Amino acid sequence: MLEKDIQEVLFSEEQLKTRVNEIAQEIDRDYAGKEIMLISVLRGSFIFMADLCRAIDLDCTLDFMSVSSYGKGTSSSGQVQITKDLSEDISGRHIIVVEDILDSGNTLSYLLKILEHRHPASIRLCTLLDKPDRRVKPVEVHYSGFTIPDAFVVGYGLDYAEKYRNLPYIGILKPEVYGG
Ligand SMILES: O=P(O)(O)OC[C@H]1O[C@H](OP(=O)(O)OP(=O)(O)O)[C@H](O)[C@@H]1O
Ligand SMILES: Nc1nc2[nH]cnc2c(=O)[nH]1
Ligand SMILES: [Mg+2]
């Protein structure tokens, strides 16, 4: 039923699983002997976070933050709002921010600045998808799953107007669905 709105599958369940496991192994190597704290940016990253954290072998704590700038549209409003802050103090901790997608960079440039002011021991960004063509704010990425073309994608946590998050794969949404 959801499938009828998908123009093209970009990454299958299998491809996602393989890449998520590779990223987890990279993190395990880079932070060997350290304890890390994963921060998931809700809501889009909840599935990536769930899969990534289960593939990581290190001592690890989790926290969640909720930010929204897209509302019901397919382009960034530029107005980033924190709708839920972290529950934990991050000072002195090794932080990895876990995101589903880096697009205009508005969300992450804002968020990373806020988190840096809280004095973590270190902070890195892990994004499943990177869409560089639409970047308006520069953001440094340490772990990136896939670079994607300039198309609006959904599934594996990513929504359009809150729907399609439950698709198990990532696909390009047919432009007629959003009147594009
Ligand atoms: O680089 P940007 O252009 O800022 O876009 C990336 C952000 O957009 C999406 O969040 P959204 O605001 O749609 O909230 P959601 O996670 O609840 O879907 C996505 O999850 C990223 O957080
Ligand atoms: N669902 C979805 N959310 C986004 N937020 C920023 N870019 C995108 C995108 O391509 N798809
Ligand atoms: Mg969204």
pLDDT band at 74 (very low <50, low <70, confident <90, very high): confident
Q: How many domains does the chain have?
A: 1
pLDDT band at 68 (very low <50, low <70, confident <90, very high): confident
Q: Give the alpha-carbon dihedral of 171, 54, 132, 63, to 10 degrees.
A: 120
- Is pLDDT larger for residue 65 or for residue 74? 65
Q: What is the DSSP string of 107-161?
A: HHHHHHHHHHTT--SEEEEEEEEE-GGG-SS----SEEEEE--SS-EEBTTB-BT
Task: Tell me the residue range of the domain where 79 lies.
Answer: 14-151
Q: How many CB atoms lie within 10 A of CB 56?
A: 19
pLDDT of 71 higher than 70: no
Note whether residue 157 is domain-resident.
no
Tokens of 20: 């998520």
> Distance from the CA of 154 to the center of ligand 3, in angstroms?
9
Q: Whose C-alpha lies nearest to ligand 1, atom 21?
A: 101
Note whether residue 168 is domain-resident.
no
Note whether residue 173 is domain-resident.
no
Question: Minimum-distance ligand to the CA of 111?
Answer: 1
Note whether residue 5 is domain-resident.
no
> Distance from the CA of 68 to the center of ligand 1, in angstroms?
6
User: Which is the catalytic residue, given 103, 130, 150, 159?
Assistant: 103
ipTM over 0.90: yes
Segment 70-92 shows an average pLDDT of 86
Note whether residue 164 is domain-resident.
no
Note whether residue 55 is domain-resident.
yes
DSSP letter for 60, please: E
CATH number at residue 44: 3.40.50.2020
Note whether residue 94 is domain-resident.
yes
Segment 45-67 shows an average pLDDT of 97
Number of H-type helices and E-type strands within the chain: 3, 9
- Is 89 known to be catalytic? no
Rounded Cα–Cα distance for residues 169 and 38 (Å)? 23
Backbone angles phi, psi at 141, to 5 degrees: -110, 130
Supply the pLDDT for residue 39: 98
pLDDT of 77 higher than 80: no
> Distance from the CA of 74 to the center of ligand 2, in angstroms?
7
Rounded Cα–Cα distance for residues 168 and 79 (Å)? 29
Q: Is the CB of 100 under 6 A from ligand 2?
A: no
DSSP letter for 45, please: T
Tokens of 59: 């001592």
Note whether residue 51 is domain-resident.
yes
